[in-house]
């Protein structure tokens, strides 16, 4: 059994890691990390774990945890992982960081978008961007994985085949994104109170959202063309789910929708967690909820010669904990799908 420690197990992403790992055949959680609930039993924080998890929440330092765990997940706020990680820790334990600390290769770009000083710049180069569908081979040998952001995962996978094939103008991409409120985490914030979120939809982070450089960097690598995008997220009154609608100019005229869809189906044919939908079906968050699936489809607007790329995913699963478990599976050489084959939840 792989011994797992979770720092931040009492957050939204952390509790989803717990839920998934409890039914993982080759992993055992040995450490439930917290800051605010130290000494409380885990089920006292999350009642769904009553009579399932009897362990106490703990708050020791990461160094002590390396003696107990073979892999540590950090499901903690931005800046935490980079402030505690070191070569010594990585020489003992694999680390999968769910925050953005190691996703962006240029520390200056990270610092300017996150308004934080990066405290372990020397480790950025080594970190592998944990988008399994694209970086599978590097992930297998990694000691440190930067688990991708929720919006970047859904945006990138939705655009990737057209970007990689050079069929779209990479500087014409507009991404309209929507997320449920769990994307903002469990910490109390006025903007996330029931009366603020319910019966409302709003854009936020317009032109400034911190996922912009992460999406740009990955699309640049995939296409080989320096890419700048417009990215506008919206908060919608749902618990979970991300929906992406992206637009781009096609570089040639006459590329049919059927041809592009066939190309997407070929790209993702062997991917267990990506479903390219049939013509005229649009991705819906309710059909992926609770699962590690990403549903994708495209449509071509022949009048404007633009392609519309659509994706739906659960922000807490493929957007966070599910992808992190997928990365762990790859890093430990076990079946990539272990613990992740649950069907989506409905209603």
Which residues of the shown chain bind ligand NDP in the complex (CB under 6 A)? 7-8, 10-14, 33-37, 75-78, 80, 98-99, 149-150, 182-183, 185-187, 315-316, 319-320
**Which one of 176-184, 261-269, 289-297, 325-333 is the stretch in contact with ligand X2W (CB under 6 A)?**
176-184
235 binds, among ligand NDP, ligand X2W, none (CB under 5 to 8 A by kind): ligand X2W
Taking the complex as a whole, the smallest distance from the CB of residue 12 to ligand X2W amounts, in Å, to 8
Contact 119, 81 (CB under 8 A): no
272 binds, among ligand NDP, ligand X2W, none (CB under 5 to 8 A by kind): none
What is the residue whose two structure tokens read 């103008």? Answer: 169
22 binds ligand X2W (CB under 6 A): no
179 binds ligand X2W (CB under 6 A): yes
Taking the complex as a whole, the smallest distance from the CB of residue 3 to ligand X2W amounts, in Å, to 25
Number of residues that bind ligand X2W (CB under 6 A): 10
233 binds, among ligand NDP, ligand X2W, none (CB under 5 to 8 A by kind): ligand X2W
* N-term to C-term CA, the chain: 34
Contact 34, 57 (CB under 8 A): yes
Residue 204's SS3 state is coil
74 binds ligand X2W (CB under 6 A): no
Beta-sheet pairing, 230-235 with 202-203: antiparallel
Q: Quick one: how far is CA 18 from the chain centroid? A: 16
Catalytic residue among 57, 81, 150, 154: 150
Dihedrals phi, psi of 170, to nearest 5 degrees:
-65, -15
Residues in 230-249 at the binding interface with ligand X2W, rule: CB under 6 A: 233, 235
Taking the complex as a whole, the smallest distance from the CB of residue 227 to ligand X2W amounts, in Å, to 19
Four-residue CA torsion sign, 76, 79, 83, 86: positive
Rounded CA-CA distance 3/72 in Å is 9
77 binds, among ligand NDP, ligand X2W, none (CB under 5 to 8 A by kind): ligand NDP
150 binds ligand X2W (CB under 6 A): yes
Taking the complex as a whole, the smallest distance from the CB of residue 59 to ligand NDP amounts, in Å, to 7
Give me the helix-helix angle, 150-164 and 257-268, nearest 10°. 120
Taking the complex as a whole, the smallest distance from the CB of residue 25 to ligand NDP amounts, in Å, to 25
Q: Is 150 part of the annotated catalytic residue set?
A: yes
154 binds ligand X2W (CB under 6 A): no
Rounded CA-CA distance 95/188 in Å is 27
**Where would I find the H helices in the chain?**
12-22, 42-45, 62-65, 80-84, 87-92, 107-114, 132-140, 150-164, 194-197, 212-223, 257-268, 322-331
Q: Is 5 or 161 the residue whose CB approaches ligand NDP more closely? A: 5
- Catalytic site residues? 150
């Amino acid at each position: 059994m792989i011994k797992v420690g979770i720092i931040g197990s009492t957050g939204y992403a952390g509790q989803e890691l717990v839920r998934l790992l409890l039914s993982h055949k080759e992993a055992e959680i040995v450490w439930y990390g917290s800051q605010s609930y130290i000494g409380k039993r885990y089920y006292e924080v999350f009642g769904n774990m009553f009579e399932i998890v009897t362990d106490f929440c703990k708050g020791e330092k990461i160094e002590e945890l390396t003696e107990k765990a073979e892999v540590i997940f950090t499901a903690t706020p931005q800046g935490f992982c980079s402030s505690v990680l070191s070569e010594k820790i990585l020489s003992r334990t694999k680390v999968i960081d769910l925050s953005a600390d190691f996703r962006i290769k240029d520390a200056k770009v990270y610092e300017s978008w996150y308004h934080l000083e990066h405290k372990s710049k020397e480790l950025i180069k080594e970190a592998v961007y944990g988008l399994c569908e694209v970086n599978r081979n590097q992930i297998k040998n990694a000691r440190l994985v930067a688990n991708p952001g929720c919006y970047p995962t859904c945006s990138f996978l939705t655009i990737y085949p057209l970007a990689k094939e050079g069929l779209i103008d990479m500087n014409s991409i507009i991404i309209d994104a929507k997320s449920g409120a769990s994307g903002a985490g469990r910490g109390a914030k006025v903007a996330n109170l029931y009366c603020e979120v319910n019966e409302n939809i709003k854009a936020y982070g317009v032109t400034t959202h911190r996922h912009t450089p992460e999406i740009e960097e990955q699309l640049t690598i995939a296409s080989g063309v320096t890419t700048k995008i417009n990215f506008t997220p919206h908060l919608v009154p749902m618990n979970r789910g991300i929906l992406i609608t992206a637009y781009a100019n096609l570089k040639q005229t006459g590329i049919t929708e059927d041809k592009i869809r066939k190309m997407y189906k070929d790209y993702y044919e062997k991917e267990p967690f990506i479903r390219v939908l049939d013509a005229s079906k649009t991705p819906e968050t309710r059909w992926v909820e609770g699962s590690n699936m990403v549903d994708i489809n495209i449509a071509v607007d022949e009048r404007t010669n633009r392609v519309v790329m659509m994706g739906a995913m659960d922000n807490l699963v493929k957007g966070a904990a599910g992808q992190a478990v997928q990365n762990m599976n790859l890093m430990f050489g076990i079946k990539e799908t272990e613990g992740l084959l649950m069907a989506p939840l409905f209603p």
